[in-house]
Amino acid sequence: MRRFVTKRKQPSSLHYLCLKTEIAEGNSKVFSISSDKGIKQEVAVFNIGGNFYAISNVCAHKGGPLSQGILEKSIVTCPWHGWKYDVRNGKSPHRGGDSVNSFKIHSIRNKLYLDLIPSKLGTASYRPHKAYAELRDSVRNHLSHIDKDSIIQTDNKVHVLGISTTNTNDEIAPRKSTSERSLEFALDFAKNKLGANCHMIKLRNLKFRHCEGYYSKNAKACIFPCSISEIDKADQMLEVYERVILWSDVVLVSTPIRWGNASSLYYQMVQRMNCVQNQSVTNQQYLIRDKAAAFIITGGQDNVQHVAGEMLMFWSQLGFVFGKFPFVGWNRGWYAEDTENNYNNLISDHGASMRTDIMRTVKGAVEMSKLVKEKRYDEQIM
């Protein structure tokens, strides 16, 4: 009697990946898998001490590639924003964290097979802190309102936001800042002569962290609102985002010149605003709509035009437009070394032309903001 030996069939849910030797110990490899229904998913396979584990390659936070993260023992850290997962089961190593799908790996004759049916399903439990979530939702509602409404219902007054970027320490002793006093004059003019609602932000009074370069890791890692604000409840850039995106029609930025450039606080702020500009690149989402900007630049050395050029470039990339004469600036020159006279000249009779220039710049910005709102400029060109 002849005996027949039948080969054991592999379950239909198993998918061949690679040879075991193709994934070195302590390393990972990513695979793009398509199900029978044509649904694609990325799976990261990790080798820990000769044992193989598979989880979704897509971080539950913002989609970072887990296969590129740092692996310590069984914990992988997402390279974008630092979220952690145990590769053995896809779970977060701490309470309250999200988890990702995990899959069983079968090793058959030096070959690795993936069971396409997840052994554990990922769960979403993380919630950002209240202020972050409120800003995120408010911006979404604001953009939806603009996109869907044929007529935007707003009050009749233009909202002018002033941002003072000087770092003068007036807590130690009162010091008169030329750039900030000029901004105060500009806001008074906008309020009393142009009927605008005005608000000033003094950056030196806000506590916010420097940009940590998430854009350099991947364009999509630079999210809005900024991931730093999501991590740090005390980060007050949320106030800048809210005022610039939701409240203002016009933004007036004042800065002193520091070694030929804008103030260090100015750069600290605008680098954190990269997440606003980046949304148009990664998500085709324009957060700045129908807004105008203008600048006041003062200092003790030349370079007003250089600083203005940088500011015009950056704020135009955010989506702002500009009226006539979008910046005003003056200085005492390289050799004067008497910057206190910048302030004295501003408030004296000799400063009449300076004040006239400020009023012209402010009026140009306010009138431009009215025009672009009335004509729905942004909605027509996008």
Per-residue confidence band for 40, with pLDDT thresholds at 50, 70 and 90: confident
Its domain, for residue 145, covers 130-381
9 in any annotated domain: no
77 in any annotated domain: yes
231 and 290 both lie in a single domain: yes
346 in any annotated domain: yes
pLDDT given for residue 343 in this prediction: 63
pLDDT given for residue 5 in this prediction: 44
pLDDT given for residue 347 in this prediction: 63
pLDDT given for residue 151 in this prediction: 42
Q: Across residues 345-363, what is the average pLDDT? A: 81
Residue 105: which CATH number? 2.102.10.10
**351: pLDDT strictly greater than 80:** no
Report d(CA 77, CA 94) in Å as an integer.
13
Q: Which two tokens mark 140?
A: 């979404």
Which domain-ending residue is among 115, 139, 169? 115
pLDDT given for residue 330 in this prediction: 81
Q: What is the dihedral of CA 5, 8, 9, 10, to 10 degrees?
A: -160
111 and 136 both lie in a single domain: no
Angle at 249 between CA 243 and CA 252, to 5 degrees: 75
Closest CA to 126 of 100, 159, 102: 100
85 and 154 both lie in a single domain: no
What are the tens digits of pLDDT across the range 110-129?
Answer: 999 999 999 999 999 899 99
Per-residue confidence band for 34, with pLDDT thresholds at 50, 70 and 90: confident
Neighbour count for residue 285 (Cβ, 10 Å): 14
80 in any annotated domain: yes
261 in any annotated domain: yes
308 and 159 both lie in a single domain: yes
% of the chain beyond a pLDDT of 70? 87
In degrees and rounded to multiples of 5, residue 249 shows phi and psi of -105, -35
CA distance to 25, 26, 39, 41, 87, per residue, from 105 (Å): 15, 16, 20, 16, 12
In degrees and rounded to multiples of 5, residue 194 shows phi and psi of -110, 0
Angle at 273 between CA 178 and CA 218, to 5 degrees: 150
6 in any annotated domain: no
What are the tens digits of pLDDT across the range 210-247?
Answer: 999 999 899 999 999 999 999 999 999 999 999 999 99
Concatenating the DSSP letter of every residue in 302-315 gives: S-HHHHHHHHHHHH
211 in any annotated domain: yes
73 and 180 both lie in a single domain: no
Under a CB-based contact definition with an 8 Å cutoff, are residues 186 and 358 in contact? yes
**39: pLDDT strictly greater than 90:** no
The residue with tokens 């906008």 is 190
189 and 312 both lie in a single domain: yes
Which domain-ending residue is among 69, 84, 115? 115
Per-residue confidence band for 153, with pLDDT thresholds at 50, 70 and 90: very low
93 and 184 both lie in a single domain: no
What are the tens digits of pLDDT across the range 172-208?
Answer: 767 688 899 999 999 999 999 999 999 999 999 999 9
329 and 229 both lie in a single domain: yes
**344: pLDDT strictly greater than 70:** no
**4: pLDDT strictly greater than 60:** no
In degrees and rounded to multiples of 5, residue 375 shows phi and psi of -90, 0
Per-residue confidence band for 336, with pLDDT thresholds at 50, 70 and 90: low
Which domain-ending residue is among 86, 115, 144? 115
CA distance to 246, 285, 289, per residue, from 146 (Å): 11, 12, 9
Alpha carbons within 13 A on the beta-carbon side of 301: 9
What are the tens digits of pLDDT across the range 44-90?
Answer: 999 999 999 999 999 999 999 999 999 999 999 999 999 999 999 99
% of the chain beyond a pLDDT of 90? 70
Under a CB-based contact definition with an 8 Å cutoff, are residues 76 and 69 in contact? yes
pLDDT given for residue 339 in this prediction: 63
Report d(CA 296, CA 44) in Å as an integer.
52
**140: pLDDT strictly greater than 70:** yes
Instruction: Report the amino acid identity of residue 80.
Output: W
The number of domains in the chain is 2
3-state helix, strand, coil in the chain (%, to 5): 35, 25, 40
Under a CB-based contact definition with an 8 Å cutoff, are residues 44 and 55 in contact? yes
Residue 361: which CATH number? 3.40.50.360
Per-residue confidence band for 145, with pLDDT thresholds at 50, 70 and 90: confident
